[in-house]
Structure 1
């Protein structure tokens, strides 16, 4: 089992502390975490740092830890700009970037991103990914698409990793899971989905891998887990619920069942279930007291899981 850790990314206005993040990432590297991850939220009531800029900072704080975002809602991005920014951070990190991509839902302020509500998000997603992959791998790109047109376009330098950084796909429906196998390098189960739901998704992914001509060993499966270790179960559940509401709004009121809350033994049991469901990497995601939680989870929980 491999473990990743979330990057604290929700400082209040003016409260970001660079030295604290440096120490946190250095300690994550010392503790043996494989990678550190963020989410993307451009608009919303909760404060949130932009991922690529923060990941560039994070990569400069250490030499081994891989850094990633799960996920970029790519239909809301111009793929040319996103390809350039991703390639740049991959160069700056010397090939330690991981990239999650997803279509996202329709409950978004599309007008803020110059995306029409009538646009087919799946087609926009697929074409945007085609544009990015072409710019990362081809010396000159010609695309006459539905949404983007490129004529003799060149982009240098290419990403440090060849052909490009690993692409993790989000999503939950069977079509999205099969798309991950066709176009990506891994599937990332959402933190807002239960372990039971994840256990239903993994067989779909594995069936698609079996039907494809690719080596299943080259495709990874991961799950984000919101977690808090606290011997006071009521306090753990109360604080987790508050944190989920802060992140997801009213939807967060229903999300406590997705989280691992309580004693080290209880949290370890939850993580063992995630591993049994098929996760090859678990993203440990405290939503508060991140540094303290990382220490407790590493010392008291993870040794019981693997």
Structure 2
């Protein structure tokens, strides 16, 4: 099995001279650098806006810095929300990260699900899906065209352009799409893209989604490699039931805070990631919290269903948690050398 990271840095807010807003980002960078040394394979970093919590908003900027400080770590976005971005400018920026990192970019994209972000950008949520699909078409063409081209779509028009620089990975960095609903998963497979599954869904639901993607990939003639599915999970190595319960309480409080800003005013946000994001039962069942033995048993359920790639959210920069997982859990699932995702650089 492969193990990567999922999550983000967090910048403090405040007006006093004793507040170092960059501290959270600096700590996270050191956390990721140590993760590479401990044997983690990747770091997938989120994109969010207008939270008030200091979450990462300029994902590719942060990954550029991390890429300069690491040598083998895959650099993932999880996810860049395409409806908010000029796709040509984004293609140029992402290609630059791939070039400078020696072909280590994993380009994770999504439609977005938080109402407050769409409202802040004044982009209707109802346009998310068509904007997303059009942007993928443009970026794919930008990365694979060696000649100038024009594009006239519903949302974007470009004339006589060629995107520079070229990507290192051929034909382009692997696309990873976040999806959870069956129809959305099938659309990911229809393009042959890799799949990112969220950290909130219970294990049985995650296994069902994994199976939907596998079936759809085979039906579309792409073949299937389990390394094409990254399953996000929260993780915390605890010594006592009290430590585990406290960690679940902290996670649930954070989830409910984010759920509140994500919900539509009419309460009708149907995004799959919202389905389990504020329930304690799902938090207890999905999260890899507990002793090493408890965590191993949950991972074994996923592994036995075919899952081979976990992206771990440790809630920030808890270095001892990172070390304990690498020391006490990962060796049980590393009997074979890591296998790179299809389309990723060797």
* 2:319 counterpart (288, 291, 296): 291
Give the equivalent residue in structure 2 for 1:71.
79
* 2:283 counterpart (243, 256, 276): 256
CA distance, structure 2, for counterparts of residue 146 and residue 250 of structure 1: 32
Q: Which moved more, 1:255-264 or 1:22-31?
A: 22-31
Alignment pair present for 1:301 and 2:329: yes
CA distance, structure 1, for counterparts of residue 102 and residue 137 of structure 2: 24
Give the equivalent residue in structure 1 for 2:209.
201
* 2:95 counterpart (87, 91, 97): 87
**2:185–2:213 CA contact under 8 A, matched in 1:** yes
Displacement of 1:303 after TM fit? 2.4
* 1:40 counterpart (40, 47, 60): 47
Displacement of 1:118 after TM fit? 4.5
**1:7–1:38 CA contact under 8 A, matched in 2:** yes
Q: 1:47-62 maps to which residues of 2 (within 5 A)?
A: 47-49=54-56, 50-62=58-70
CA distance, structure 2, for counterparts of residue 147 and residue 203 of structure 1: 34
Give the equivalent residue in structure 1 for 2:273.
none
Displacement of 1:7 after TM fit? 5.6
**2:92–2:163 CA contact under 8 A, matched in 1:** yes
2:329 match: secondary structure: helix
Displacement of 1:233 after TM fit? 2.1
Shift in alpha-carbon separation, 1:104–1:26, aligned structure 2, 3 A: closer
Shift in alpha-carbon separation, 1:240–1:84, aligned structure 2, 3 A: farther
Give the equivalent residue in structure 1 for 2:173.
165
Give the equivalent residue in structure 2 for 1:131.
138
Displacement of 1:287 after TM fit? 0.8
CA distance, structure 1, for counterparts of residue 221 and residue 151 of structure 2: 27
CA distance, structure 1, for counterparts of residue 66 and residue 297 of structure 2: 31
Note the alpha carbon deviations across 1:193-229, whole angstroms, 9 max, x for none: 2211111111211111121122323971120110111
CA distance, structure 2, for counterparts of residue 147 and residue 219 of structure 1: 34
Give the equivalent residue in structure 2 for 1:16.
22
Q: 1:81-230 maps to which residues of 2 (within 5 A)?
A: 81-105=89-113, 107-119=115-127, 121-138=128-145, 139-217=147-225, 220-230=228-238
Shift in alpha-carbon separation, 1:39–1:8, aligned structure 2, 3 A: closer
Give the equivalent residue in structure 2 for 1:3.
3
Larger relative contact order (C-alpha < 8 A, sep ≥ 6)? 2
Displacement of 1:147 after TM fit? 0.9
2:301 match: secondary structure: helix
CA distance, structure 2, for counterparts of residue 278 and residue 186 of structure 1: 15
Alignment pair present for 1:233 and 2:241: yes
**1:190–1:223 CA contact under 8 A, matched in 2:** yes
Aligned CA-pair RMSD: 2.2
Give the equivalent residue in structure 1 for 2:305.
277
